[in-house]
Structure formats: structure tokens, C-alpha cells
Structure 1
């Protein structure tokens, strides 16, 4: 089964827009796990505009599933994750002034940097993943860093899905297949939703985990959080069964 990790950033953004502690990020994390999600994803940025560094410590204490922490491996971030020791760290090359993550790593250019950071994480028993554009040429260099996984950056797939879903999925399929050649597992995330998640899971081989935040939280405004998580899980389950039965 493909695992569903729910990103809490939008909950923190809503809380921070008003001040105080409503909605309570910690309680939402507890509820998301209770409602069936397989993990929690958080992405603390240096300006702490959504998830704060204090949130990370608080959330760690209530995780009963898996904790995935995303971020650019600057010194402050590395100190945090080596202190927290989450199940997984996903390295993302985002700059401080971006609204949201908008590209994967150039693993050719940044191979030495990524190798250094990943070695430190793996020395502490942390599973590592590299945020990657769907480009098979980048995969061997990702593997050379010692990473356990790649996370496919799926914004272009999500944009192209409505009109050209076969064209837009092709780079992801060949990148995932290349990852298999290097014994890398595959995660996926960014702008995945109830419309496109099934197609992605059915077509991409060896996908282990999807990380979904913005769309899932948006859907929950209409559907309720528990019902939304259950709906995503049912989609994922049906997609996995369909992929298995087609083999």
C-alpha cells in the first residue's frame, strides 16, 4: 500500500494569520493520525511563516505513525532534525522568498552538498529523501549521495493532468523506473488531489508514499477532516489494488 502523509503547513498558516492557537496544530496532528493517515509531514522554513521550530518539537512528542520533516539543509535546519530524529527527512532546495517549493534539486551540481548532509542524517538513523524533478538523468547522482528515496515534484503533473495526462505522466514513469535501477524508493508530492492521485499511483512503479497538504486541507473545508482523509485513503487503496491486479 502507498502511504499517505498529511502536510500540516496550511493548518499552521491559518493559525498564524490570526495569532493565538486556533486551529491547534498539535491537536490536528493527533486527529489526522487518529483518522487513519500513515504519517505527518511538516516543512519548517527559516522565517517560520507557518510551521515554527517550536511546533516541530511539540509535534514530535505526539507522533504515533511517521514524521517526515522537509526543508533546505541549512545549518539551522540540520541542527533541528538531528535533535528531533524524525523517521524521514526530505531535502528540498527552497529559497527563503518562495511561496512554496517550486523545483527539485540539481543533483549533479549539488551532489557534494547533498552527500555531506545525507551522511550526517544517516549516521543518526534517519531515512533520507531528495526532492527531485522528473528527470531520469538526475537519478544516478541522487543515488550517489546515499539517499534512500527520491520524492518526485509533481506540480507539472498536476498542471498538465486535466488536458494531457498521458504526456505529463511520462517523465515521472521513466524517472521512477530509473530509480528502481538504483534501488531508490519513490515518494511523490506537490499539488496532488482527489482528481489526479489515482492516475499517478496506478502508473508510477515502486511508489511508497504521497505527501499531500494544500488540496487535502482545502477539501476538508467542505467534507470535514476525517471524511477527507478517509476519501483519500480509499482512493489510494483502490489505485493500489488496480495496479496489482493489472500485473
Structure 2
């Protein structure tokens, strides 16, 4: 229940009153038996779904809302805001469908984020964008990183939402999101061909280092230390693209 002046955001919808979530006995029983071993088990209790409760600033955008804590600098916030709108519209045109219902994105800054940024998309069209609190050393590079980062996360609204994927094979959807982020930025003139090719070379090298000669079918399901699902998935989509009739 939101307090005075606060909001709750659940499944992309904003509320100022109490929000009730009903879970059936069958879902509880399945989740208890599964013990969180699979994505389906977490989903049964909506345990894999973000929700937001607080008083942070909220902006209404076409299709959803952007919530931010006021700590993210104006340049990176604007890069995130514009990328959300542009990429959502472009993917809707590309796939011919929008995510069902509203979406919500929560952008925050924290010293707990060890890398430059970290993001997640969950069921209910909720997205978390978390940034490290250190000021960017290279503002231009930081803007490019934000655009790529948000493009990657927005793609998940399609490849793990509108369209279905094998959640136990993360290289499929993570690689697709990396691949689409690069193409979207290249198409928008936000990166150049040389940089795009360099990113592909990096993905190829990282995948070769991680997997060596092991076929994807022999790898254990889920994320594991002996694999790089982002790089190898990126390479997989490059190979798939190369097989398309010209």
C-alpha cells in the first residue's frame, strides 16, 4: 500500500491506492515443489516480477512511464528517455506488435552497482535500469553506453515478452538483445560501421574463449561460469543473419 504522496507501480500500471495480487493455490503448490529451480517456478508466484513503491519523479511517456530518483545526470537521463521512445516505436514497426498493456521503467543510481550499469526486465513489463554513482569519465562514451544499454533492455520486451523464448537458454534472448541493440544504433546513426564491426569482433573472440569447441547443445541450462551467453548469442544471431536470402 503506497503511503502519503507515494505510488505503487505493478505490471506497468501506476496506483496511489492499495494493490491486491491474487495467487491461486495451484500456483503456490507448483512453486513450492519447484523450489525456484526453474523460471516457471519463480513465475508461478510472480517472484520474478519487479514492483515499485515510492515517491520518485514519474514521467508519462507514450506507452508507459519513466520513474527516476533524481540522481542520474541530465544527459544520461535524456539518453535513456529518448532511447525508450525511439526503440519502442522502431521495434513495434519491425515486429508489427507492441507489448501488451502499459510498461514502467525505473532508473536509479547506486554505489552498489559495480559496473557502469545493470538492467533487468521482468514479467509485467517492468524494467529496472541501475547506474553506478561515479561521474562518467567520458561523457560522449557514457551516452553511447546508455543508448546501447536501454536498446538491449527494451528488446527484451519483445524477445521474452511479445515473442517467447527458452528462458533456460539465455544466449538466445541475451544474444538477440545485443544484436538488435547494435543494429538499432547503427541504423539510427548513433554508432558507425567500424565500431559495430569492432563490437562483433569482440563478441566472436569472447565466445571462442568461453566455449572453445563445445557445441551449444552440450552446455548446461541457465547462466553458468563456463559460458558467455551475451557474446555467443550475439555470434549466433550474426550467423543466422548471414543465412538469410539476399
- Quickly name the TM-score band, shorter chain normalised: under 0.3
TM-score normalised according to structure 1 size? 0.24
Higher relative contact order (CA 8 A, sep 6+): 1
| Rg larger for | 2
TM-score normalised according to structure 2 size? 0.24
